Copies of this chain bind each other. A is one copy, B any other.
Amino acid sequence: MSETRPSSIREIADRLGVSTATVSNALRGKGRVSPALALQIRAEAETLGYVPDHAARALRTGKSNTIGLLVPNIGQPLFPAFAQAIERAAKQRGLAVLIGDSEGDPAQQDFEIRNMIARGVDALIIIPTRGTTVMPKSFSVPVAIIDSAATAGNIAASDHREGGRKVARHLIELGHDKLLVLAGPENSLVARERVEGMCEIFVSAGIQPTLKYSDATLEAGSVLGRELDLGRFTACAAAYDALAIGFALAVRDRGYSIPQDISLTGFDDLMWAQIVSPPLTTVRQDLEAVAIHALSFVTGEADASRIFPTDLVVRQSTARPSAFSQGDKNAE
């Protein structure tokens, strides 16, 4: 049932009366081996069910053909999509992926980085946990940071700022002028870029939005939706879908409706955005492109940092402000 010891290159060599070097060459098509012999060797390898020993090869060559992927929290939406894209791209290049989860903890992130390097990964792709800075230069393997354009050493990211601008333009075109911005965590560079993009447009349209900082969670969104004076706003732009959805839930409980009483936008286009009611207007990132570029960078196929465009996805949570909805009615 279970094999004894898996057969080695030596076994093949002995059975064919050749040297291990020749077998190695034949199997990898590297050094010069006569076609006839090579064929014979490959056949023998086949029948023996030979599988190269990964550890031995790694020890000898110094390459493990393994990359490390470090995410802040694989349980949170969005990160699995990244992981999948990276895994797929890695597999295609014959690389395996060692996964690490920082669980939002900078200390664990540190530990994981060290651990993965110690395990001999050839490269590291890191999505830094909020509020941390990773210096790629300080490691002995290539490291790609996926975060925001503003992050030091960032290699691949979506254009969060432009995404924010798109949201803001959309809202302004609809005629909104009393803006609430759910800005997310103050220490998140991604959130900051999104918010700055929004504010840039709002301000240049003569609007001074109200900013509220909080965690990027459903719960935080609910708290804000429950406590804020909604009459003061015609629209709310959130830096995260989760925040927007939490907000929507709370606001609905208070008897307000979206988008009639207040328009709402999110950011990320999670699966959730499509199933809440009303479906959420939000911004979609091209995670696949970001993932592939990060991987290409660490494998040396690409050599520059890149920022990828985002798309505004307009759904039913945004509409023109209704003239008679709230206290002030300067709209229209």
User: Which residues on A are within 8 Å of B, measured CB to CB?
Assistant: 1-3, 6, 51-56, 58-59, 64, 66, 69, 73-75, 77, 79-81, 83-84, 87-88, 96-101, 103, 114-120, 137-140, 218, 245, 249, 252, 271-272, 274-277
Contacts and interface: CB of A to CB of B under 8 A. Distances in A.
Contact of A100 (B66, B87, B115, B137): B87
A152 B140 CA distance: 45
Q: Quick one: copies of this chain in the complex?
A: 2
Given A3-B140, A66-B119, 17 more contacts: A6-B140, A52-B118, A53-B120, A54-B64, A54-B120, A55-B55, A59-B59, A66-B98, A74-B87, A79-B80, A87-B99, A88-B103, A99-B99, A218-B274, A245-B275, A271-B272, A275-B276
B275 A2 contact: no
Nearest to A73: B84
A141 to B, nearest CB: 9
A119 B54 contact: yes
A100 B74 CA distance: 14
Given A3-B140, A140-B3, A87 B64 contact: no
A69 B101 CA distance: 14
Nearest to A119: B54
Nearest to A108: B91
A118 B51 contact: yes
Query: Counting chain B CB atoms within 10 Å of each CB, which of A116, A120, A139 scores highest?
Result: A120
A1 B64 CA distance: 23
A245 B54 CA distance: 45
B53 A56 contact: no
A140 B75 contact: no
Contacts of A74: 80, 83-84, 87
A138 B3 CA distance: 9
A88 B59 CA distance: 28
A59 B51 contact: no
24 contacts: A2-B139, A2-B140, A3-B140, A51-B118, A52-B118, A54-B120, A55-B56, A55-B64, A55-B120, A59-B59, A66-B119, A73-B84, A74-B87, A77-B77, A79-B80, A88-B103, A96-B100, A96-B116, A97-B98, A99-B99, A218-B271, A272-B275, A276-B276, A276-B277
Nearest to A116: B96
A98 B101 contact: no
Nearest to A114: B51
* A53, A138, A139: residue with the most chain B Cβ atoms closer than 10 Å: A53
A143 to B, nearest CB: 11
Contacts of A88: 101, 103
Contacts of A138: 1
B97 A99 contact: yes
From A58, A98, A103, A139, name the one whose CB has the most chain B CB atoms within 10 angstroms.
A58
